[in-house]
Amino acid sequence: MARGSHTGRKRRLPRSPAKSLAKMQGFALDMEELLNEVENLAQALRFIGFGLESHNDDIGSPISALAWTALQRLSELKKIWNSMIKASAGA
């Protein structure tokens, strides 16, 4: 089977660094709302755990401990996110 002519193909131009950076910044800013939402959910779990603990329920301690660990990890993720935003703004 014969192949078509190469002259009919459009050449894809490489994306400029500025457009790539703008696209990456857009994705990063989209992540911010989700990070904040997950942080609020983890904080709510922590409060639930504390509430259960205050009523002498043994299940409260693991819930609050798990939520605290999640909040610590989210805090580290937010530091990385902030560094990424600052680096892209200075680029």
pLDDT, the chain, mean: 82
Model confidence over 25-48: pLDDT tens digits? 787 778 888 888 999 999 999 999
Q: What distance in Å separates the CA atoms of residue 53 and residue 59, rounded to the nearest whole number?
A: 7
For residue 1, the model assigns a pLDDT of 55
Alpha carbon separation from 49 to 26, 46, 56, 73, 90 (Å, rounded): 36, 5, 11, 18, 42
CA–CA separation, 13 and 29 (whole Å): 26
